[in-house]
């Protein structure tokens, strides 16, 4: 336990981890094992429900009719997230007036002009579509623009380009609510497509990038964006199999979000007069790190709580660790890679509790002995 209790450091601000009162006087912690089991089962049930919803959405994927899909070519301008899109389009149209002949050199020239003004692939494709639409209305040839569009979509970025177009309106709507640049949310969805299977890392990266207060809204956005993408005229994935793992990850992320709320409720003391020891950010970081490094829980505790426990007497350390143990006990095995990982975490916490209780007993005996000697 020296690794946990002997690390100096400052206290953290935020909701309190341990109040001035002992844990056995805290009615919120007087719940027995049945209440903990109920919380674990609640998160597990939410994961099952998410899996059922995902299965239903996948079953519908192949049955969407074109009239049911949400992307419309007339929305192209709205889906361009570049704040200067209108002016840049006019400038681009003037720059490409002489580019009408279809040739490899002409296509390269068109793409160069487009990418100079619209470095994002989704905006670039939408710009080409809009220019093609204008030329068709004016009765001008569009072959060079058609070939430029085909060339742009032949690269490795085709999926990201489609995804960016499909979720642009969702990104714009959520960005207004969250006071963010919609381009950040568009890129966030693309990143989710690439790293969705590492959902615990993804969740923590959202917190690091957007702050803990926005984490649930970010999850809501990504879930809505994925559904919007699937129901779009040209989904970023060509078949249901490509979306299956993404829907599974959304289910895990929602379960993780529910679990972190329960975890914080068990760990942090809401009392207004409590000593402020650990922030919500640190508490959630400890939870996520524990899920990712279950066999290194001793180090996780030292990194997360070492500076807190080092300034507390053994009695208070025991109280803190009791809260930590009860908080981790609410996390279901479905959020670990195996049930053995959950057992490893809880076993380590029990060992820590035993060591702290032993140290607390030693300190009490020394204190009693010291008082006796003073009295003599």
Q: Which tens digits make up the pLDDT trace of 214-258?
A: 999 999 999 999 999 998 889 998 877 788 899 999 999 999 999
Radius of gyration of the chain, Cα coordinates, nearest whole angstrom: 28
What's the CATH fold of domain 2-26+269-375? Monooxygenase (1.20.1280)
CB atoms under 10 Å from CB of 166, counted, come to 28
pLDDT(206) > 60:
yes
Domain ranges of the chain: 2-26+269-375, 47-68+171-256, 73-155
Instruction: Mention every residue, 6+ apart, whose C-beta is less than 8 A from residue 281.
Output: 14, 207, 212
Q: Which DSSP string do the residues of 201-222 spell out, in sequence order?
A: HHHHHHHHHH-GGGHHHHHHHH
Residues 149, 185: Cα–Cα separation, whole Å: 24
Please determine whether the domains at 2-26+269-375 and 47-68+171-256 fall in the same fold group of CATH. no
pTM, two decimal places: 0.78
Q: Which tens digits make up the pLDDT trace of 321-343?
A: 999 999 999 999 999 999 999 99
Q: Domain 47-68+171-256, what architecture?
A: Orthogonal Bundle (1.10)
102 with 89: CB under 8 angstroms? no
Total length of the chain: 376
Which residue would you say has higher pLDDT here, 359 or 151? 151
107 with 144: CB under 8 angstroms? yes
Lowest mean pLDDT among 196-205, 218-227, 306-315: 306-315
């Amino acid at each position: 336990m020296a690794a946990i209790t002997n690390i100096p450091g400052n206290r953290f601000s935020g909701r309190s981890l341990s109040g001035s009162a002992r844990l056995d006087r805290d009615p919120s912690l007087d719940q027995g094992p049945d209440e903990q089991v109920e919380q674990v089962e609640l998160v597990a049930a939410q994961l099952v429900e998410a899996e059922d919803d995902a299965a239903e959405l996948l079953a519908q994927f192949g049955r969407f009719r074109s009239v049911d899909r949400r992307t419309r070519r007339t929305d192209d301008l709205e889906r361009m997230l570049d704040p200067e899109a209108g002016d840049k389009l006019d400038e681009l149209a003037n720059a490409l007036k002489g580019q009408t002949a279809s040739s490899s050199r002409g296509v390269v020239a068109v793409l160069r002009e487009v990418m100079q003004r619209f470095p994002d692939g989704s905006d670039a494709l939408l710009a080409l579509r809009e220019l093609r639409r204008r030329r068709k209305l004016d009765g001008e040839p569009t072959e060079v623009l058609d070939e430029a569009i085909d060339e742009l979509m032949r690269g490795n970025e085709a999926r990201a380009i489609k995804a960016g177009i499909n979720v642009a309106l969702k990104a714009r709507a959520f960005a207004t609510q969250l006071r963010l640049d919609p381009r950040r949310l568009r890129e966030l969805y693309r990143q989710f497509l690439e790293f969705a299977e590492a959902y615990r890392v993804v969740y923590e990266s959202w917190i690091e990038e957007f702050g803990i207060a926005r984490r649930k809204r970010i999850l809501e956005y990504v879930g809505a964006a994925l559904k919007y993408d699937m129901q779009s005229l040209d989904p970023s994935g060509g078949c249901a199999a490509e979306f299956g793992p993404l829907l599974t990850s959304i289910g895990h992320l929602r379960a993780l979000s529910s679990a972190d709320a329960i975890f914080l409720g068990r760990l942090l003391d809401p009392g207004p007069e409590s000593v402020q020891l650990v922030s919500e950010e640190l508490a959630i970081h400890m939870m996520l790190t524990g899920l990712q490094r279950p066999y290194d829980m001793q180090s996780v505790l030292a990194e997360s709580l070492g500076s807190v426990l080092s300034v507390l007497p053994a009695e208070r350390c025991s109280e803190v660790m009791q809260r930590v143990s009860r908080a981790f006990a609410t996390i279901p095995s479905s959020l670990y890679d195996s049930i053995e990982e959950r057992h490893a975490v809880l076993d380590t916490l029990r060992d820590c509790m035993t060591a702290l209780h032993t140290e607390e007993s030693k300190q009490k005996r020394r204190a009693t002995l010291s008082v006796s000697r003073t009295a003599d």
